[in-house]
Amino acid sequence: MTRIGHYGLKFNGFFEKYMFVIIPSSMVAGFFFADRLASLTGWIAWLFAWITFVMALSCKVEDLRATFRRPALMLIVLLLAHLVAPWVVYELGVFWFGAGSPYIIGMVLFAAIPLGVSSIIWVGLSNGNVALTLALVVIDTLLSPLILPAVLAQFFGTRLDFEYWELFRDLSLMIVLPTTIGVLVNHWTKGSFREKIHPYATPSTKIAFMLVVMINVAAITPFMSELRGDLLKLVPVTLLVVVLCYGLGFLACLLPGRSSQITTLPYLAGMRNISLGIVVGLQYFGPLAAVPVVLSILIQQPMATLNHWLLKKWFSRRT
């Protein structure tokens, strides 16, 4: 191993150990350097593509085949994320803000948008089922042109003209193509390619992840002025919404035969594609409806960090 590879692995260990500090710090940096970082939003897809490719190198063709042989688990996640979560969140919104509030639309929108691509990163960091996560994120995003309008119409009677092909193009770039290439490379090289680049590629994904967080925060900074009036009411309820989504993932782990998925299901149930949610909220419902989605990006990543820390504590006590 070269000296660069040695320092790369040391950095990777440092990042995973102090992630609970690094990720919030990256968010703060995104605010302070918003003017410079906001112009880099076009890089998010490429950064995600690299992260997904490196993660996929740890997956085998047999892993993905096994995932599709377990449709019940995939169906459970989708039902929790897009049926149970929107209903619970809607009732919470009506109780908190009163019927007719535009903030309720944003809360339900958060629950209805596709599973978050960044869940792949956190599942990988937690040694969870990356193959299951990749498959579910791909399937859920492909189904989102059907799921998202249906959920919103159910609660608000709204029909959306969804840009399916634009979403499909972004999905192909961020997930489908890099996943396919990564799995095939791992299969053809019998894992030797991953072993060679691991000391360099793995720490680079951590840097890419930090950049994704910073750029996303920078992109939503202009909308933060919408939070001033109702900030004291919005922050706790948005926090509760994210916690509820994570909680549904933990509940799924209590089902018979699902306990082994504790490093996977909470991330899948709890994380959403915030970037897509912001676009849909602003385009179809206006800034006020988009505010809860915007605010959730400030909570989702710290919550993932906390979940990762709790999982490490849980497994350290059991060993």
Q: Tokens for 25, please give them.
A: 């710090």
Q: What is the pLDDT of residue 92?
A: 94
Q: For 263-279, write each residue's pLDDT tens digit.
A: 888 999 999 888 778 77
Tokens 């989605």 belong to residue: 293
> What is the average pLDDT value for the chain, to the nearest integer?
82
Give Cβ neighbours of residue 281 (< 8 Å, ≥ 6 apart).
105, 106, 109, 289, 290, 293, 294
CA 33 remoteness from chain centre: 23
Q: What is the pLDDT of residue 79?
A: 92
Is residue 60 within 8 Å of 189, Cβ to Cβ? no
What share of the chain in percent tops pLDDT 90? 14
Nearest to 301 by CA among 213, 205, 175: 213
Tokens 């596709």 belong to residue: 114
Nearest to 265 by CA among 132, 71, 108: 132
Q: Which residues pair with 115 in a beta bridge?
A: 272
Q: For 30-44, write each residue's pLDDT tens digit.
A: 889 988 888 888 888
The residue-averaged pLDDT of 77-104 equals 90
User: What's the CA angle centered on 10, arms 9 and 11, to 5 degrees?
Assistant: 90
Q: DSSP character for 39?
A: G
120, amino acid identity: I
Q: Which residues pair with 272 in a beta bridge?
A: 115
Of residues 173 and 163, the one with the higher pLDDT is 173
Sequence-ordered alpha helix ranges (H) in the chain: 3-17, 19-32, 34-37, 44-56, 61-68, 71-79, 85-97, 102-112, 118-125, 130-156, 164-171, 177-188, 192-220, 231-253, 265-270, 274-280, 287-318
90, amino acid identity: Y
- Backbone φ, ψ for residue 110 (5° rounding): -60, -40
Tokens 């944003």 belong to residue: 106
* pTM more than 0.75: yes
Say how many Å lie between the first and final Cα of the chain, rounded: 30
134, amino acid identity: L
The residue-averaged pLDDT of 125-138 equals 83
Q: For 176-226, write each residue's pLDDT tens digit.
A: 788 889 889 998 998 899 888 988 998 998 898 888 888 877 877 777 766
Q: Tokens for 136, please give them.
A: 């579910």
Q: What is the pLDDT of residue 237?
A: 92
pLDDT band, very low/low/confident/very high, at 73 (cuts 50, 70, 90) = confident
Q: What is the pLDDT of residue 6?
A: 78
- Most confident of the following: 45-49, 56-60, 233-237, 292-296: 233-237
Q: What is the pLDDT of residue 45?
A: 81
Q: For 277-290, write each residue's pLDDT tens digit.
A: 877 777 777 777 77
Tokens 């009677």 belong to residue: 157
Of residues 44 and 319, the one with the higher pLDDT is 44
Q: What is the pLDDT of residue 317?
A: 65
pLDDT band, very low/low/confident/very high, at 150 (cuts 50, 70, 90) = confident
Q: For 1-29, write each residue's pLDDT tens digit.
A: 677 887 888 888 888 777 768 878 888 89
Domains of the chain are 60-188+219-314 (1.20.1530.20)
Cβ burial, residue 33 (10 Å; 0-12/13-18/19+): middle
Nearest to 123 by CA among 254, 314, 308: 308
